[in-house]
Amino acid sequence: MNDPQRILVIRLSGVGDVLWTTPLLRSLRQGYPRAKIFYVVRQACAPVLENNPDVDELLVYRGGGPKHQLAFLQDIRSRRCHLCLDLVGTPRTAIQSLVSGAKVRMGFDFGYRRFFYNRVLSAAEANQGHEVEFHLYPLKFLGLEAGDRRLVFNLTPKEIDYRKNFWLERNLKRGREVVGIIPTGGWACKRWPEENYIALGQAFAQKKDIVFLIFWGNAQERHRAVRIAQGIGPQAVLAPETSLRQMAALISGCRAVVGNDTGPLHLATAFDIPVISFYGPTSPQAQGPWGQGHRVLRDETLPCLVCNRTDCRRPRCMENIKVDSAVQALRQALAQAEAK
């Protein structure tokens, strides 16, 4: 389309999903350098896009009753955008796209939601690889090239100082390699068992120069992190209570990261940190760690992989991933990081 002056991007979803749109935002900025770019995002995920030069303003969705919903739609409408990209296609985002009043409303052909757009894209055609590529798919219909595909998460000087101070306080600076462990995950069936994380840490008990930094988010996750840290022993350090951006700052200082398919793990890939991740119900092809040098572990013998279930009572796909495989993968990742 002709040079749009105001662009609305909608991605109401998780931390990793929003992070995976950052190459698209960079391409939009390069293709339309004079445009003002707005982004509709959930409150919990808004920090992912803070300090990002490719977004001019975040429209933060906080939910609420009908009054709040209407006010938010009015806010979207008031931006008078010329181009709207709905990257998720839920009933809510389809309505937001329509209400925006944009001359070009681009979205995917998900059920009846396709009727809310005037530029309908094939989800089947777009969904041939990673979510990053899925988000870049609309560019071809805008006549733009997808350039740099690296993820963007820019720390502030204050956040970098936060990490440095934590490293000094915990004596993590001199001659010690910090390995991040991220045992969190929104679905219980996406989590590698606690005892496996403990066994992984214990396998490096003789390596006194390695410290495991255990991350957590909510109170339940903290209990899990405490048990893992206690099980590993003196080489484990429990991360403090942090904001999402403070957590990202601490992750950025790790030599390697081991964890489940969850938002914080994907933050590590934005810092080009080698990642070892465990997959079962979700697809590593579509939602795996983005970039080079990462390692995905899963039990390839199971017929139920990529079931996308959130309620599996016996997630054998996670339970069957061997500790020995993770130990070997971590050793390789540390060697890879050392060679850089």
Coil/strand/helix, residue 259 = strand
Angle in degrees, CA 263, 151, 40, rounded to 5: 70
Angle in degrees, CA 16, 313, 280, rounded to 5: 40
Print the SS3 string covering 59-81. EEECCCCHHHHHHHHHHHHHCCC
In angstroms, the CA 177 to CA 185 distance is 25
The pLDDT score that the predictor gives to residue 175 is: 66
Question: Which of 80, 75, 82 minimizes the C-alpha distance to 58?
Answer: 75
Residues with Cβ within 8 Å of 133's Cβ and at least 6 positions away in sequence, in order, are: 126
The pLDDT score that the predictor gives to residue 1 is: 63
Q: What is the DSSP-derived secondary structure letter of residue 154?
A: -
Q: What is the DSSP string of 87-139?
A: SS--HHHHHHHHHTT-SEEEEE--GGGGGG-SEEE-HHHH-SS-HHHHHHTTH
Coil/strand/helix, residue 203 = coil
The pLDDT score that the predictor gives to residue 310 is: 80
In angstroms, the CA 198 to CA 202 distance is 6
Domains observed in the chain: 6-142 (3.40.50.2000), 157-339 (3.40.50.2000)
The pLDDT score that the predictor gives to residue 286 is: 93
The pLDDT score that the predictor gives to residue 162 is: 97
In angstroms, the CA 90 to CA 93 distance is 5
The pLDDT score that the predictor gives to residue 314 is: 84
Look up the pTM and report it: 0.95
State which residues of the chain have pLDDT below 70.
Answer: 1, 174-175, 340
SS3 content of the chain, % helix, strand, coil (to 5): 45, 15, 40
